[in-house]
C-alpha cells in the first residue's frame, strides 16, 4: 500500500470576509417568520393560521430580470438578486411546479472535494453558504454534515487521492486520507473480506460534506425570494426568446409574452433547447441519471459512501431508506424516468461493497435529465448574446452547487460580469484551451 501525506493546516469553517456583504438579512415582509414562538402560537390555533410560503402572482408585462427555470439554481439566483443586489423586479418562470426537475430528483449529496482551481473555489464557496443556509433562509434545509467518503481500491487510487486531498487542503478545503483500518472502523459492514472483488485500500473523507433535503432547499429559496418581491410563476413554459439584433427583449410563454431587461437560463437538462430559442448552440448534452430508494431500515449508513472501482453511491435518509445512485445512461435522452438495465448495473456495483444489502427491497426508482458538459464542469457566465446569461452544464455536481451557483449567477447578471469565483466557468474556455476536466475523461460528456 502506498504512503501518503496530507498537508496539515487550518481549515476555515466560516465564510471568509471577502464573501460577506452588508446586505440585510432575510426580510420577512409578507411571510410569517418561523420560530419556536410562531410554532407555539400556531399550535394554540390548531395550525390553521399559517400563510402561504410564497405568493402565486399573475405575470407582469415586464421584469428587469427573468430567470427561466424554477429549480434550486433559478430560485437561488432570484433570491440573491433581490437580497444582495437590490434587484427585485424579477420573475422565475417555471414550466411545471418548482422543484419538479433535477432539484427534486437528486440524491442530495453535498461536498466540495474538487481538485482544480476553478471548481475548488466555487464549490467551497457553495459549501460555506450551505453551512449557514437554514439560518439565512429561516427555513430548515436539513443540511447534515455527515461526511462524504470516497473508497479507494488500489495503490494508484491512493496516490491520486493523496494528490487531490493535498490540493484541497492547499485551497483551504478539509480532507482526510484514511487507510484501510480507519475506513473499517468508520464503516465496519463494508466488505473487507478476502473475496472482495476490489479490496478496499483506504478512503478520501471530506467531513464537512453530507446531505441536505432537496425539496426544502427549493421551498426555502422560493419563500425567501417571494418575500423579497420576486414573482414565482409556475405552469408557464417558455416557448421562445425574443431578440432585437443581438439583445434579448423577453420570453414567449404559454401565458403570453413577458418582456425582460435581462434573461438568465437555469434549466439544467433543457439548457440546449432553451439556448437554441435564442439562436445559441451550447457544448452541453442531455443524459438521464437515475436514482433509487429502498424500504426503510434501521440506521446502517451514517455517512455518504462512494465506490471507487465502479460507480455507486449511497446515503441513508432520515426515514431510513437507503438512497442510491450510479452511472448516467450513456446515450442522449430527455426521458425523466428510469429503466431496467441501469437498475442491474447500479445495484451490482453496490453489492460489491455492501453484500449485506442483498435482501433490502427497492421502493422507488426515477430519473432526471442531466446537463452534461464537454469537460464535466459547469457554465455560469455571459453568452455571446447581450443580456442573456447561462447557468448550466451541471453534470453530477448541481445540487451541491445550488447556493453558490445562485450567488455567483446573481452577481454575474446584476453586474454584467462574473465574480472572480466563476470567472473561469465560461463558454469560451474550450476555444481558449483551458477545459476544466476534473476527471480527465476528455471531451466526452457521458463519462464525466
Ligand atoms: C438522479 C439524480 C441524482 C443526482 N444527485 C446529485 C447529488 O447527489 N448531488 C449533486 O450535487 N447533484 C446531483 N444531481 C444533479 C442535480 O440534481 C442538478 O444538477 C441540480 O438539481 C440542477 O438544478 P437546476 O435548478 O439547475 O435544475 P432543475 O432542478 O432541473 O430545474 C430546471 C427547471 O427548469 C424548468 N424548465 C425546463 N424547460 C423550461 C421551459 N421551457 N420553460 C420554463 N421552465 C423550464 C424545469 O421544469 C425545471 O424545473 C442529481 C441529478 C439527478 C437527476
How much distance in Å is there from the Cα of 369 to the middle of ligand 1?
A: 7
How much distance in Å is there from the Cα of 270 to the middle of ligand 1?
A: 9
Residue nearest to atom 50 of ligand 1 (CA): 106
How much distance in Å is there from the Cα of 341 to the middle of ligand 1?
A: 23
Residue nearest to atom 25 of ligand 1 (CA): 71
Residue 105 in contact with ligand 1 by CB distance below 6 A? yes
Residue nearest to atom 32 of ligand 1 (CA): 267
Nearest atom of ligand 1 to the alpha carbon of 72: 25
Task: Give the pLDDT score at 32.
Answer: 83
What's the rounded Cα separation, in Å, for the pair 148 and 315? 9
Task: Give the pLDDT score at 29.
Answer: 55
Residue 106 in contact with ligand 1 by CB distance below 6 A? yes
* Of 387, 379, 369, 384, nearest in space to 66 by CA: 387
Residue 406 in contact with ligand 1 by CB distance below 6 A? no
Residue 289 in contact with ligand 1 by CB distance below 6 A? yes
Per-domain residue ranges of the chain: 55-137+214-284+375-447, 148-208+286-373
**In this structure, which CATH number among 3.40.50.1000, 2.40.30.10, 3.30.9.10, 3.40.50.700 belongs to the domain 148-208+286-373?**
3.30.9.10
Q: Model confidence over 69-119: pLDDT tens digits? A: 999 999 999 999 999 999 999 999 999 999 999 999 999 999 999 999 999
Which ranges of the chain have pLDDT less than 50? Answer: 1-14, 17-18, 21-24, 26-28
What's the rounded Cα separation, in Å, for the pair 269 and 261? 25
Residue 267 in contact with ligand 1 by CB distance below 6 A? yes
What's the rounded Cα separation, in Å, for the pair 252 and 232? 16
Domain 55-137+214-284+375-447 superfamily per CATH? FAD/NAD(P)-binding domain (3.50.50.60)
Amino acid at each position: 500500500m502506498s504512503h501518503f501525506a496530507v498537508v496539515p493546516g487550518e481549515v476555515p469553517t466560516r465564510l471568509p470576509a471577502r464573501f460577506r456583504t452588508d446586505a440585510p438579512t432575510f426580510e420577512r415582509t409578507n411571510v410569517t417568520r418561523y420560530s419556536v414562538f410562531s410554532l407555539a402560537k400556531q399550535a394554540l390555533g390548531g395550525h390553521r393560521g399559517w400563510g402561504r410560503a410564497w405568493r402565486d402572482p399573475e405575470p407582469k408585462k415586464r421584469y428587469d430580470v427573468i430567470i427561466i427555470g424554477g429549480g434550486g439554481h433559478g430560485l437561488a439566483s432570484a433570491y440573491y438578486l433581490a437580497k444582495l443586489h437590490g434587484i427585485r423586479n424579477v420573475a422565475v418562470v417555471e414550466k411545471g411546479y418548482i422543484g419538479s426537475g433535477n432539484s427534486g430528483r437528486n440524491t442530495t449529496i453535498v461536498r466540495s472535494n474538487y481538485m482544480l482551481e476553478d471548481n475548488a473555489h466555487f464549490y467551497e464557496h457553495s459549501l460555506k453558504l450551505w453551512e449557514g443556509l437554514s439560518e439565512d433562509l429561516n427555513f430548515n434545509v436539513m443540511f447534515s454534515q455527515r461526511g462524504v467518503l470516497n473508497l479507494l481500491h488500489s495503490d494508484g487510487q491512493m496516490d491520486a487521492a493523496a494528490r487531490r486531498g493535498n490540493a484541497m487542503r492547499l485551497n483551504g478545503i478539509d480532507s482526510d486520507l484514511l487507510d484501510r483500518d480507519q475506513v473499517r472502523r468508520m464503516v465496519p459492514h463494508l466488505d473487507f473480506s478476502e473475496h472482495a472483488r476490489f479490496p478496499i485500500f483506504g478512503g478520501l473523507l471530506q467531513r464537512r460534506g453530507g446531505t441536505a433535503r432537496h425539496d426544502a432547499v427549493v421551498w426555502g429559496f422560493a419563500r425567501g425570494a417571494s418575500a423579497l418581491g420576486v414573482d414565482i410563476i409556475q405552469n408557464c413554459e417558455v416557448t421562445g426568446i425574443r431578440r432585437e439584433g443581438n439583445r434579448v427583449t423577453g420570453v414567449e410563454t404559454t401565458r403570453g409574452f413577458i418582456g425582460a431587461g435581462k434573461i438568465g437560463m437555469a434549466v439544467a437538462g433543457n439548457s440546449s433547447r432553451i439556448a437554441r430559442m435564442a439562436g445559441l448552440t451550447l457544448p452541453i448534452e442531455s443524459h438521464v441519471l437515475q436514482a433509487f430508494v429502498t424500504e426503510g431500515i434501521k440506521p446502517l449508513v451514517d455517512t455518504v459512501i462512494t465506490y471507487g472501482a465502479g460507480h455507486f453511491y449511497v446515503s441513508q435518509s432520515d426515514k431510513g431508506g437507503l438512497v442510491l445512485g450510479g452511472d448516467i445512461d450513456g446515450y442522449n435522452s430527455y426521458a425523466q424516468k428510469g429503466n431496467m438495465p441501469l437498475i442491474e448495473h447500479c445495484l451490482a456495483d453496490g453489492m460489491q461493497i455492501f453484500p449485506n444489502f442483498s435482501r433490502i427491497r427497492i421502493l422507488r426508482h426515477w430519473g432526471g435529465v442531466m446537463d452534461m458538459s464537454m469537460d464535466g464542469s459547469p457554465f455560469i457566465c455571459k453568452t455571446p448574446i447581450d443580456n442573456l446569461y447561462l447557468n448550466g452544464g451541471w453534470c453530477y455536481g448541481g445540487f451541491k452547487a445550488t447556493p453558490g451557483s445562485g450567488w455567483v449567477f446573481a452577481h454575474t447578471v446584476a453586474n454584467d460580469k462574473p465574480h472572480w469565483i466563476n470567472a473561469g466557468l465560461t463558454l469560451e474556455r474550450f476555444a481558449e484551451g483551458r477545459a476544466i476536466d476534473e476527471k480527465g475523461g476528455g471531451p466526452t460528456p457521458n463519462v464525466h
